[in-house]
Structure formats: C-alpha cells, structure tokens
Chain A
Amino acid sequence: MNVIGESVQTRSGRDEIGPVASGRVPPPEASVLRNGLTRSKAHMVQAVTKSVMLDDDQEMIERKLKRLSQEKSLFDRKTSKIQFLMCKVLLMIMYLIYGFYRYFQYEYNRMKLKLLNIMYNPSNTPQLIRQDVNKLKKIPKRLAAILEMKSASYVGGGVKGLMNDGSELVCWTVSAGIKHLILYDYDGVLKNNVQDFRKEIRAKLGKYYGPSNVPKYAIRIPHLNKIYFNDEDDATSNGKNKVAIEVSLLSNRDGRETIVDLTRTMADLCAANELKLSNITMKLVDKELTHLVGPEPDLLLYFGPALDLQGFPPWHIRLTELHWEEDNDDVVYSVFIRGLQKYSACKINVGK
C-alpha cells in the first residue's frame, strides 16, 4: 500500500542524513540568552547601549528615507534629525530600563529553577519518578523533546553531552510509563551517532534498573526507515509490542524538506497515472507524513531559555502542548516533570 512513502524514501536517499541546512537565525531572545552575553554584566550594558546606535537594517533605512522625503524645507529636516536623535536616546533609556528589569527577572527565574531542582530530583530511581507521575490525572501518549548541542567548551557540551541528555530523558520517560519518545536535534547529530547513542542508552538504563535488567527499547530513524533494538544480535527477532519504549530520532531534514519531497513524489506518481489528483486528500497527506516522520506528539519539551522550535516538523505540532522553563539552560528532571504536570491540567478542545 505504501508506494508513496517508499518512493519518497528512495528519492531522498536512504543512507544519508541529508545536507545540514545552515544559516539558521534563532529567535532573538533565545539566541541572546544562549550566547552567554548574560555572563558579564558590563558587557551586557555595553551591548544594550551600543546596539541602539546600530542602524544598517534595510527597513530602518527605508523608514528614514521616507521620513526625510516628507519634510521639504531645510529647517524641517534639521528638526526631524533632532527628533530622530531624541528618539534614539529615549529608546536607549527604555532598553536600559527593560534590561535592568529583565536582569532581575533572570536572577529570580534562576533561583526558582535551583529550588525546583532540589525539590524534584530523580536520583536514578525509577520508583521516585513513577511516584511523581502517579499523582497526575493523565499523561501524554507521545512525548517529544528538542535537544541542542552546546559548544564543546562548556560542561555537558559536545556530542557526548547531547547523548547523555538524550539517554537521561529516555530513562525518565520509561520510568514515567510513556511509550513513545521523539528526540529532535536540528543537525541530526543523534541520528549520525546512533550506534554510540544506543550504547549510551543501555548504560544509562542500567544505572536505573540494574545492568542485567535493562528494559527493552527500540530506536527508530524514520527518515532512513531503520530500527535498532537493545542488542546488536537480536536485530528484528523481537516483536515490536514487547518494547518498553520507542525512541524516534528526528532532525531538520524531517521538517519542510520532507513535505516538499512528498509533493514531488506525488506529482511524479500523478504524471505516471498511478495516483489520481482527486485522491490526494488531507487524510492521505497526513497518513504519508505520519508514515515518513511519525505521529504527532502530545507534549513538546524544550530545555532552552526561551521558546525556539528550531524547525521541528511543522505538520506535527498542530495541537501539541508546548512546555519550557524561562531562563533554564540544562536538561533537568524538574522541567520534565513540570511539563507533565502542566499537560495533566490542560484541557483539549478542538475548535471550541
């Protein structure tokens, strides 16, 4: 039945992760907070004041030209210039006030996170996690998380750090009793290092459940249509239904590009008269994308300081509940459990 899905996969090349789309400009707040400008106060103030004077933005110049063209006489132009400078100064003052306020907010949030981290600590014990989760009315069926690789010079940075975060998250999810986890990282680092990641998960699960008693897991890479199980030897012998958790690895490649690939493939099939145009319905597109990327997650966790979806597959975040903690910077259990708590309290009403 799945002619379309398979031909999309052969088209896009089964064995490569695909080129990494470069030139991503993250949303302003996330990018500023992540780049560590907040580390030095003096630097921050300097950045605020100087950035006001920056005006080589195309649209700013456009607005300036428009303003100048309206006033005809020299006097008007001079006053308008003074007005412009006044506005710049006022803007700078407002930036400084806002920055000051934001600084206190930042400190407050950090403090809150520290307290939360003390309150919620799984300490490698599945029972504790299950206890936390059992207080909730409902849990999501499918959980997704956006992970990002920090620069290797930080603690917990680099590929190793990313894999550590990912496997930690797998352990929490297993212990919480959620069957499906989607891990997204923009560049597909986890996909590229899937063998190492597999070992890392096994080691981490061993810490939680004892090395001889590791729960069964499956790692799926939908883009390459591959599944990996616990051990190298029992590759596909075990039935899928025995698995305690299924981990899907996604990257930027599964987002917009996959939708465009699907369009191309369907056009080819239509041209070859294998598919009718009238048969292309919303349902079919949804089915194919579910096949190619996976189902829609119920809850999406992000572990950065300000929400940045980083190109998570657009088709799949339709009704997904989003959760992140402001000014948080690490993959910590408190964010995970608070996300679940929020999900259990939210009401879903499509269209009503």
Chain B
Amino acid sequence: MRIPKGIRNRLTGPRAERSELTRVEACFKFIKDELMVILIWIASIKLFVILYRQLQNVLIGVVRVGPVPRHVSFIMDGNRRYAKGRGMSVKRGHEAGGLALLNLCYACKNIGIKCVSAYAFSIENFNRPKEEVDNLYNMFAVKLDEFAQRANSFKDPLYGARIRIVGDHSLVSQEMRDKIKNVEKLTKDGADFTLYICFPYTSRNDIYHTVHDSIEKSLKEKSDLGKFTVSAFTERMYLDDFSNKCDLLIRTSGHMRLSDYMLWQSHENSDIQFTSTLWPDFGFIKFYLMLLRWSFFTSIQRYADAGFSIREKVISFIPFLANKKIALDSLPTAPLAVSITGEHD
C-alpha cells in the first residue's frame, strides 16, 4: 500500500533518528511504523469510526450499571513532550491536550460522573517562556468560548454541563476575568455535570486562600471561629461541594508526585493513579480501563463492607416468596379479648 510521504510523516513523525538505532531495533521500528500507518488508515474508514463509536457507547452503558466515581480529576502532563516527540510546535501539543480533555468530558458525562476537574495552568507555570504562556492563554480563551457554546446548544453531547474556572484570579488580566465570569454565567444552570478548570491554581494557594477568607469573614461579621470545623473549612474551598474528596486522581506522563494539585482532596481516601502515557495519548480506552479497575475494587469493597445475600435478592424478585414488611397497624382489629375469669375491657 502506498501512502504519500507527507501523510506518513504527519501520522508517525519523521524518521530522522533511525540511523542511530541498531539494525534489530531499526527493523522493529520499521514494522511498528508500517503497522501504525495501516492501523491509522483502517481507523479512518467511516465504517470503523461508526463501529468504534458504537463500541464506546456499549462500554459506557456497561460501566454505568456499576459504581461510578463522583469526582474524577486529571493532571494533564506531557503535552510538550508529546509535541517534541512528533516534531510539532509546543502550541500544537497543547491543542492536542485540550482536545483530549474535551473527548474525555463527553465520556465522563455519559458515564454519569458528576464532576471532572483538570489542572490546566499552575501558578508556577508563569515561570515558563513568555511566548508559551501567551499561547496557552489565547488557546484557553478560545476553548472557553467553544465550551460555553456547546454547553448551550441542545444537540451537543455536552449540553447541560456547567463550567467553573477556579484558582487565583488576581493573577490574570481584567479582560480574562470578565470572560471567565461571562462563561460561568452562561453555563450556570447545568446540574448533572460540572467541569472545573483549575486556572491558575495550586493547592497550597487554595488552602491559603481559604484560611485568609475565613479569617476575613469572621472579622467582618465579628463572629467567633471557635466552632470552626474541618468540614466548614472544606466548604469554603474553590471546588464547592466537591472539595472534600476526589475519588479518582489520574496523573499522566509518569511522574510520581502531586505537583501541588488537589492536596486537600486526595490526601485521604482517594485513589491516585499514575500512568506513563503522555496526556494527548490518554484516550477513552485507557481511561475506561482505569475506571473499570476503580469500579471493580469499589464494588468488592462495598460488598465486603455491607454483606450481601444472593438468596434475599432472588427472593425479593419473586412476588409470592418475598417476605414483605407488614406494619402492625395495617392489620384489621382483632375480636374482643375476654378472659375466663370474666374480666374484659
């Protein structure tokens, strides 16, 4: 099969480094490259696209009947390495990352996950080259508009989603702040699904911000913080109802650290998963496998905690065998009780 060189390069990246590999490795790489091209070619046929979408729907339908996490969070790491590996510009890498997030949002919404949060921009990221920061900014602005539009159009799978941009907004420009406010207002009615974009965010900043605001509030209202509890503290954090716990935290690209993200939410009781896949490559199937793992262990955990009898379950399905609960008051009144000694009421 002949595929134009330009397309091949775009799909698999340039093969400049091949000369440095040993012969066996080169052979393997050649086979892999060829295979990838064929696979991608197959995947681009319309029929397979439809089939893949159908399969995706079936898989989502299956996992929906089991336990599903409430709050899933992503650390989207690896966009730049992805771009570098394919000889693209850094900007393109970030774009690919944004697309990957939107695709996963569709899936999450269909699965029934209530909340997805993503680490878009860390406060520390301001240390990056200015050009890249600007690019990220612009891309973010464009994506925000796109999301708002989709969440409001009835046909789109993202219809009815709410978006919130959380973080230290004193660090971004006034123009950006207005835009954020506008987008949040446009989508504020969505109740089923919330997407939190953490922009510019660090978890320490989140905690500090809550400490500061709580004190400010107590000073203003002249109220005593004597009975201030952990849960009251948690309610005031950036992520509203979802601040307490993040059920599943996924970090891509192989680093084993949290990098100042979701510290409060994930330091207790939450499942943290690390994968060496770069973020733009983290597609539906990989996410689905992680979800299945979570669901598998959660359902066994619940089973072990609650105890479950298959007999009761079966019996409850058969109407005449089910031992219904009957309230004593619902029975007809018994006849008059008379004792042999003759006394009665």
User: Residues on A close to B: CB < 8 A?
Assistant: 24-29, 31-32, 35, 37, 47-48, 50-57, 59-60, 63, 83-84, 87-88, 90-91, 94-95, 98-99, 102, 255-257, 259-260, 262-264, 266-268, 270-271, 277, 280, 282, 285-286, 306-307, 309-315, 317-323, 342, 346, 350-352
Contact = CB atoms under 8 A, between A and B. Distances in A.
Contacts of B122: 351
Given A50-B310, A259-B233, A322-B256, A264 B270 contact: no
B70 to A, nearest CB: 7
A351 B263 contact: no
Given A98-B296, A321-B256, A285 B211 contact: yes
The 8 A-B pairs of least Cβ separation, nearest first, read A351-B124, A28-B297, A51-B303, A27-B271, A314-B263, A51-B299, A311-B268, A28-B298
Nearest to B264: A314
Contacts of A60: 65-68
5 contacts: A53-B310, A57-B302, A59-B112, A255-B267, A306-B271
B339 to A, nearest CB: 47
Nearest to B227: A264
B47 interface: no
B296 A263 contact: no
Interface string B60-77: 011111111010000000
Which one of A37, A263, A317 has the greatest number of beta carbons of chain B within 10 Å? A263
B225 A98 contact: no
Contact of B293 (A53, A98, A320): A98
A53 B308 contact: yes
Interface string B296-334: 111111111010101001000000000000000000000
Interface string B186-224: 000000000000000001110110111011101100101
Contacts of A271: 218-219, 222, 224
Contacts of B64: 63, 87
Contacts of A285: 207-208, 211
Contacts of A31: 297, 301, 304
A60 B306 CA distance: 16
B271 A29 contact: yes
Nearest to A310: B268
Given A31-B304, A91-B62, A263-B214, 8 more contacts: A28-B298, A37-B300, A37-B304, A256-B233, A263-B233, A286-B204, A318-B263, A320-B257
B228 A47 contact: no
Contact of A63 (B112, B205, B225): B112
B228 A54 contact: no
A47 B257 contact: no
B126 interface: yes
A92 to B, nearest CB: 9
Contacts of B216: 277
B259 to A, nearest CB: 6
A264 B302 contact: no
Contacts of B66: 52, 60, 91
A47 B255 CA distance: 34
Contacts of A28: 271, 294, 297-298, 300-301
A267 B212 contact: no
